[in-house]
Amino acid sequence: MPIVFDNRYARKFPEITTSQPIKPDGKANLLWLNEPLWVELSAGDKPPAKLADWLGGLEPWPGAEPVAQKYAGHQFGHFNPYLGDGRGLLLGQVVVGEKLQDIHVKGAGPTPYSRGADGRAVLRSSVRELLASEAFYALGVPTTRALALVSTEGKIQRERLEPGAILARTAATHVRFGHFEHCFHRNLEDTMKHLWQDTIETVWPQLANASVAEGFAQVVKRTAEMIAGWQAYGFIHGVMNTDNMSIAGETFDFGPYAFLDNYKPEKIFNHTDAGGRYGFFQQPGIGLWNLKRLAQALSTMVEPDELQSALDNYETQLRQAYLNLMTKRLGLSAVPDEQKMALIGGWLSLLEVNNADYQLSFRDLIDSLESGAPKGLLKQSGESWWKEYQSAINGYTDIDVMKQVNPWVIVRTHHAQRVIEASEAGDNSLLEEYTQALMNPFDDALSDSVWARPPKPNEQVSQLSCSS
């Protein structure tokens, strides 16, 4: 059967939404479709021939009721009450099993919340979000998903004139921390109560009868687990504003993100983040800071003291989730926790001192375990750590587990740029090829693939633009 929408959000919250159709920007061409995700959403139905026209706004998508959402947020630590979907529209929800999934489009044209901007998305940023979301999904880190990408005939002015695009994505919800900040600062108490209850029920049906404090505890836990995934895989989000934080704890609104190539944890990629607020090491603390802003917004519904215990658990939950992931990545399941942290710290120090590749160094460790002798970085300058590691694991190896969590292929900025340039020139074959590799990142057949290769010195990127 075709995708069937249940537009409950638009029906329930007209006071924080504005209905409007996708505004066409010329002819739309389907560049990429996530066929497995489409099958999941449509219960096996084939994608319609008119999908590009639906996403491009040339014809209305049957059953969809597009709305732009109003919210607020703290941007780089400063409250901004004027935020909202400035270029995105929530098309509606789709029933998938016992849960709902949002379908949302980015680049749909100006809305009342565009603040004078053009409401469009460029192909560059759309491809980057597509790559990151599918890579994270394959890695097992909570994330929105990319459903489809269409090009438009529009030429969008950013730092340069760029081709336009519209990206369709799915999420457990598009409700953000900033939604509740908007309700709090506008004294929309009834809206806040209904929005909180509806969001918790939508994302976690088993918590339908939970208290606000219990629901908040789930948001804290999921946020901690998400950020632990970022830290374990060397991901820098770049713009952790509260309006970019999902209540569902899914990686959301990819901007000038990067996965580390060489392990330089102090590196700042977002050229607008001069103070380094959203640097790699800062992300766990910013996650807690953002959760405190959410707790403040919820204070009209619940006593702040009732939320404090969940906030107090955040650091422990993040640390445990990180430890669990790094235990798998380094094969430390037989090692006591206190010794694990020492080995993880020593490993990261080794990578940093040697400016080593963050992803492929884990594969060197696997090679070393399989051969019984240090390889790569471990042979060059890591023998001391290797001996300590061997003593700790005491002959017990987790090689099979390690191979299931240590990717050959990750989103690398120089590969993404190559894909973007090809797509801008009308060649989408690299987009399909790279995406397939990212969806199967642990496949040993990719070990010699071009997509597994780290950047050469002249291919390394020092800064990324937030404009999209």
Q: 10 Å Cβ neighbour count for 370?
A: 12
The answer to the question of whether 354 is labelled as a binding residue is no
What are the residues whose beta carbons fall under 8 Å from the beta carbon of 182, sequence distance 6 or more?
Answer: 16, 70, 71, 72, 81, 83, 188
Number of neighbours of residue 261 by Cβ within 10 angstroms:
23
Rounded alpha-carbon distances, angstroms, from residue 425 to 116, 123, 166, 419, 430: 29, 11, 17, 10, 11
Tokens of 236: 């820098």
Burial bucket for residue 4 (CB in 10 Å: 0-12, 13-18, 19+): middle
Q: How many Å separate Cα 306 from the centre of its chain?
A: 29
Identify the CA nearest to 368 among candidates 378, 383, 358: 378
CB 26 within 8 A of CB 154: yes
What element of type H or E holds 291?
helix 283-297
Residue 84 annotated as lining a ligand binding site: yes
The reply, when asked if residue 86 is annotated as ligand binding, is yes
277 in a known ligand binding site: no
Residue identified by tokens 């789709």 is 94
Determine if residue 176 is labeled as part of a ligand binding site. yes
Q: Which two tokens stand for residue 448?
A: 């010699």
List Cα–Cα distances, 88 to 106, 192, 295, 400, 407, in angstroms: 4, 22, 26, 42, 32
Please tell me what DSSP assigns to residue 77. Answer: T
Establish whether 443 is a catalytic residue: no
Scanning 155-282, the segments in alpha helix (DSSP H) are 177-185, 189-203, 212-232
Amino acid at 347: W
119 is in an annotated binding site: yes
Contact status, residue 318 vs residue 228, Cβ threshold 8 Å: yes
Using DSSP's 3-state secondary structure scheme, residue 134 falls into: helix
Half-sphere exposure of 464 (CA within 13 A, CB side): 26
Tokens representing 406 are: 């240590």
**How far apart, in whole angstroms, are the C-alpha atoms of residue 270 and residue 463?**
6
**Where does residue 373 rank: exposed (0-12), middle (13-18), buried (19+ CB within 10 A)?**
exposed
Ligand-binding annotation for 178, yes or no, is: no
Determine if residue 87 is labeled as part of a ligand binding site.
yes
* CA atoms of 417 and 376, how far apart (whole Å): 28
Catalytic residue among 53, 102, 243, 364: 243
On the 0-12 / 13-18 / 19+ scale of CB atoms within 10 A, 150 is buried
Binding residues for ATP: 84, 86-87, 106, 118-119, 169, 176, 253
Binding residues for Mg(2+): 244, 253
Binding residues: 84, 86-87, 106, 118-119, 169, 176, 244, 253
Active site residues: 243
